[in-house]
Amino acid sequence: MEPMTDGNRSSAGAPRTSAPAATSFETQPSRYKHWKLRVDGDIATLVMAVDDAHPHKPGYELKLNSYDLSVDIELADAILRLRFEHPEVKCVVMTAELDRVFCSGANIYMLGQSTHSFKVNFCKFTNETRLYLEDASANSGLASLCACKGTTAGGGYELALACDETMLVDDGNSAVSFPETPLLAVLPGTGGLTRLVDKRKVRRDRADVFCTTAEGIKGKRAKDWGLVDHLVSRTKWDESVIAAAKALAAKQTVTRGPAVVLPPLECKITPDALRYRYVEVAIDAGARTAALLVRGPEADAVMDFTSPDTWSLRAFRELDDALLRLRFDFPDIGVVTVRTAGDPKLVVSHDEILAKTNTGFAREVRLLQRRVLKRYDNTARSLYAVADRADSCFAGSLLELALGADRFYMLIDDGIGVATSVANTGFMTTSTGMSRLEARFFGDPARVKAVLERGASKPRNGASSNDSAARTKFVDDHQLTHVVELIESEEAEQLGIATVAADDIDFADELRIAIEERASLSPDALTGMEQSLRFVGPETMETKIFGRLSAWQNWIFTRANSTGEHGALTLYGRPERPQFQWKRT
Amino acid sequence: MEPMTDGNRSSAGAPRTSAPAATSFETQPSRYKHWKLRVDGDIATLVMAVDDAHPHKPGYELKLNSYDLSVDIELADAILRLRFEHPEVKCVVMTAELDRVFCSGANIYMLGQSTHSFKVNFCKFTNETRLYLEDASANSGLASLCACKGTTAGGGYELALACDETMLVDDGNSAVSFPETPLLAVLPGTGGLTRLVDKRKVRRDRADVFCTTAEGIKGKRAKDWGLVDHLVSRTKWDESVIAAAKALAAKQTVTRGPAVVLPPLECKITPDALRYRYVEVAIDAGARTAALLVRGPEADAVMDFTSPDTWSLRAFRELDDALLRLRFDFPDIGVVTVRTAGDPKLVVSHDEILAKTNTGFAREVRLLQRRVLKRYDNTARSLYAVADRADSCFAGSLLELALGADRFYMLIDDGIGVATSVANTGFMTTSTGMSRLEARFFGDPARVKAVLERGASKPRNGASSNDSAARTKFVDDHQLTHVVELIESEEAEQLGIATVAADDIDFADELRIAIEERASLSPDALTGMEQSLRFVGPETMETKIFGRLSAWQNWIFTRANSTGEHGALTLYGRPERPQFQWKRT
């Protein structure tokens, strides 16, 4: 048995019954150990300078700019801060402090020592971070240039592939490479294979040669094959990096800002709960369930769309952090119930004002909400949304939590219902490119329309009689002209939003049995099932990375040829040669 | 170590060094043990009547119309024969001889006793057969109706999902179900999850409930949820089946025929080779390589497009059979070299005449070629196409073998080259829906155009000087007006067709080293890598089945929760309850 939060296989001496040690996903530039963030006008530079003495867990050294979870948590933080805190930056340059090595990829000893579940979650997190780089470029006017002045191997090259452009030094030695398959018997698992052919459109037979050539490809051939965009000598390196970064910056046309500094989230952690301002997670380790609660804005919540404390940002940042902690620190939790609490009208109002606010900051908040909801879709736990509180609040952006869940249970009771907002009309796309409503009614757009029309807020003729005083003031303050229609549980079931709507005679038993049954099933089969049912419809590079590439990598990670006693990943760095089982499957 | 052809885990007493026993994929209706094929006008009936005493391997009984490889080989044969031998049939009805059970799915004891590699190949074959049913409906005017007059579980319901319409008996008892996840800790692995949401567009939360409800869903709810198309009482069953089949038949507008009876392929099997008329496979067990050779038509080959012996059909049927035997009987073979031999002009001529022949039979031949090439793409072995014979013949439909390979090695020598034909211009799509040329030059249609224009046959001004007498006669006989342009190796490399073109000083060594290196790599990592690089571009229901669903299933099959000592699949039918490891990954 592995300790809950331990990425290392060896757990000798760790008390098994203690509260889980918490993995922190929060940091800030002044605390970075592995990256240096510099901002100079419209160009930022992220210097990878991995401190080999500070790995995420003891047991390995982060030599040659190899990375582990700690390194990637800092990278994710840096990208997020560039988006929110440095709107003047139009291009970020990734580079390294070492002169002959850009990055040698994920640390192999770390992988070799990690449990299967840690490896899978580590890869998922690094994949999300790479996608966030691409999201910043596509939607936020923040381009990226990877300046590889030396060896760029494995995950290092995968980071380069996630950037808009890649520059490789032409020194007769420095190569880009994917040595995973020939040296470790695993895949480049952070999107590399997919991006190689689907994004960079490297010819598939050349990609085949590249991915089986441990030493990689350098110089003119790397450029000719489309593996890199720029090939530059050492003497012209610095000026070329600046020129390419400036050229990328000059192409950006998206209006950003105002700058908003992201404050700490102040998560309170106890052995059985995570508590934030708007988000709570209660853990029932014995039942292997967690109860996630997301609160809507208070009536007097900050509605200043220049503030990091605005509900739309704060609540979703907290949700993001909670999802990551669930993934890494509570791997035995199989079922997560998802409840909401608050005033649906306030959520809808926040959504509507956010949508109407024409600033870069407001756009960043919407994009962050979208990314957090994708992280939710991609969390390998059974998600049951539950509307049974009198103050249940599945409205607008919070309704997405119900639409993204595997099932949605609604109690039939006065005042319990769902409400739509502008957040449900298309912007909050899943990784397939469809909205959650479109995915729910795949192939039947009329049903999407029916829900949105039924739920559409109606023109307001004075304050509605059941409007709270806070709401009325809110509506007046923001000159809103619409009121919200609550779709109660029975109608929500008829419209196809609720999976089950039941009255209070049946509800509690039905939900309890559904949770117990779900928690009793094989977690592996459930992950595969949910991956197939959640991502209905078109596939994208993003879904290919999580659905096709990661699925094969998960399989490969379980095989003796990589992680067995005589497997290549296990034996890396030792004198013994791996012994393979040769069956092709 | 497992015997090469043995699907069973236990191999006590089997001599380990003997020649592999051969799996035969050829059969015919008079030899069927598990199905009865009846044809009555434009309706055919395929009655599933599984003989439980004749499993594919000893060790389990095929009770309750459960199936194994033998049952599915007959089904695949029946569909093929309906297409070629019964062009009058416009709808095939799948039904069962048992009165209360349609089909209880893949036999669980068979799965529990099988090796991982057998399970994966068995699932792949059944998946291909289901897709062939859909191909017949989409392209050949052969619709299908699944008449489920009783329990329809697991793979039984997956068969139903592959049909155009499904009829379920409304008897208060008969249900459709996917008990795999709740009972066996695996997935419905034959396309079921994908078809449920992507083809039938069952709402994802309902699909989630369905897939975790072992007893399934019956009656009105099955119809309301879109799990079945027709719900019919026992008293009205027979007439309703006929009416629905007739209605499907009436919709068919595709011209079929003439009928052509498919003769046996007469494969000669020795311990180290498979030999057909046009196809040969030489096995080098020590090197874990196989040499596949496909010959083009002889100068006097049958060009009668009403004959089953026409090269275009015979050679591709042989290739199909060889691929299946490779998959099942030679699992240790990692690298397959693919060579061709013959006169490129004759292949191009056969392709062109086949394309011009406006009969149902000719269409069936083209569709069969396309399916065989998809089977090739989906074969989990490294495929190296090699043009080094003086009579190398990578032309037209045979050029697809080079374009579908992971790499293409070409010797630079007089007369060695490639040629395109109408077969390369779009019809021979891969499962992504793109042609192999489009996949090769993904995102760069100009390069596709350049190859097709360069290789296009030119108007003929009398016989070309290097035309053989046979070719000249052929051209005259068929009133062809074009001659073929051979693209020699160096130019093929420049155009992006060859991965490597080398002269005879370097060629043999380079190829030998490439094969040896490839054969030394982990077969698992290679499968995952090839699955990611081969299927560039858009995804379809077909690629989702093989890439997403099958990848997850492969992973799940390796997990202790299903196939471990205490796994659910292992313990099925025994009194012990499975014990699960709860980590979610």
* B332 shares a domain with B480: yes
A201 touches chain B (CB under 8 A): yes
A447 touches chain B (CB under 8 A): no
Tell me the three state secondary structure of residue B79. Answer: helix
Residues of B in contact with A186 (CB under 8 A): 525
Cis bond upstream, residue A258 (ω within 30): yes
For residue A385, the chain B residue with the least C-alpha distance is: B205
Give every CB contact of residue A575 below 8 A, 6+ residues apart in sequence.
none
3-state secondary structure of A81: helix
| Per-residue confidence (pLDDT) for residue A305, from 0 to 100 | 84
Q: Under an 8 A CB cutoff, do B585 and A439 touch?
A: no
Please give the pLDDT value at position A15. Answer: 38
**Pairwise CB contact (< 8 Å): B208 & A559:** no
- At position B472, the amino acid (one-letter code) is T
**Residue A279 shares a structural domain with residue A425:** yes
Tell me whether residue A544 is in a domain: no
Facing residues of B282 across strands?
A: B273, B291
Q: DSSP 3-state assignment of A275?
A: strand
Look at residues A199, A216, A250 and tell me which one is the last residue of a structural domain: A250
Distance set, CA B485 to CA A227, B16, B396 (Å): 32, 50, 11
Rounded percentage of chain A residues whose pLDDT exceeds 90: 88
Whether B380 contacts B127, CB under 8 Å: no
- Shared domain check, A202 and A307: no
User: Do A107 and A220 have their domain in common?
Assistant: yes
Q: Is residue B567 part of a domain?
A: no
Residue A229 C-alpha, separation from nearest chain B C-alpha, in angstroms: 17
Domain containing B474 equals 268-524
| Last residue within a domain, chosen from B220, B250, B280 | B250
CA distances from A206 to A544, A555, B450, B503 (A): 20, 25, 19, 19
Q: Which candidate, B226, B230, B199, places its Cα nearest to that of B210?
A: B226
- How large is the average pLDDT for residues A171-176? 97
Q: For residue B259, is it within any domain?
A: no
Same-domain pairing of B166 and B278: no
| B372 domain residue, yes or no | yes
Q: Which pLDDT score, from 0 to 100, does residue A585 have?
A: 82
Quick check: B209 and A528 CB within 8 A? no
In one-letter notation, the amino acid at residue A515 is: I
Asked if B527's CB is within 8 angstroms of A585's CB, the reply is yes
Indicate if B324 and B233 belong to the same structural domain. Answer: no
- Mark whether B280 and B180 lie in a shared domain: no
Measured CA to CA in angstroms, residue A473 lies from A419, A461, A466 at distances of: 20, 15, 13
B457 & B519 share domain: yes
Spatial contact of A93 and A43, defined as CB atoms under 8 Å apart: yes
Across A547-574, average pLDDT = 92
Number of domains in chain A: 2
Residue A259 located in a structural domain: no
A465: left (phi over 0), alpha (psi -120 to 50) or beta: alpha
DSSP-derived letter for residue A501 is E
The answer to whether A381 touches A407, Cβ cutoff 8 Å, is no
Q: Is residue A222 part of a domain?
A: yes
Q: Are residues A204 and A292 in the same domain?
A: no
Residue A232 near residue A147, CB atoms below 8 Å: no
Rounded to whole angstroms, the Cα distance separating A450 from A495 reads: 8
Q: Name the token pair of B354.
A: 């086949």
Of B187, B405, B583, the CB nearest to A528: B187
B540 assigned to some structural domain:
no
* Cα distance between residue B581 and residue B185, in whole Å: 12
Residues of chain B contacting residue A189, judged by C-beta atoms under 8 Å apart: none
The answer to whether residue B363 sits within a structural domain is yes
State the complex-level ipTM. 0.93
Query: Tens place of pLDDT for every residue, chain B, 585 residues?
Result: 223 333 433 333 333 344 457 899 999 999 999 999 999 999 999 999 999 999 999 999 999 999 999 999 999 999 999 999 999 999 999 999 999 999 999 999 999 999 999 999 999 999 999 999 999 999 999 999 999 999 999 999 999 999 999 999 999 999 999 999 999 999 998 999 999 999 999 999 999 999 999 999 999 999 999 999 999 999 999 999 999 999 999 999 999 999 999 999 999 999 999 999 999 999 999 999 999 999 999 988 777 888 999 999 999 999 999 999 999 999 999 999 999 999 999 999 999 999 999 999 999 999 999 999 999 999 999 999 999 999 999 999 999 999 999 999 999 999 999 999 999 999 999 999 999 999 999 999 999 999 998 877 666 555 455 556 655 665 666 666 556 889 999 999 999 999 999 999 999 999 999 999 999 999 999 999 999 999 999 999 999 999 888 899 999 999 999 999 999 999 999 999 999 999 988
Residue of A nearest to B579 (CA): A522
**For the domain that residue A414 is a member of, what is the CATH number?**
3.90.226.10
Which residues of chain A does B209 touch, with a Cβ-Cβ cutoff of 8 Å?
407, 499
User: Do both A319 and A198 map to the same domain?
Assistant: no
Query: β-pairing, B500-502 with B105-106?
Result: unpaired
Spatial distance between the Cα atoms of A220 and A241, rounded to a whole number of angstroms: 18
Domain stop point among A524, A550, A576:
A524
Q: Both B244 and B316 in a single domain?
A: no
Tell me the pLDDT tens digit for each residue of A37-65: 999 999 999 999 999 999 999 999 999 99
Question: B349 and B469, same structural domain?
Answer: yes
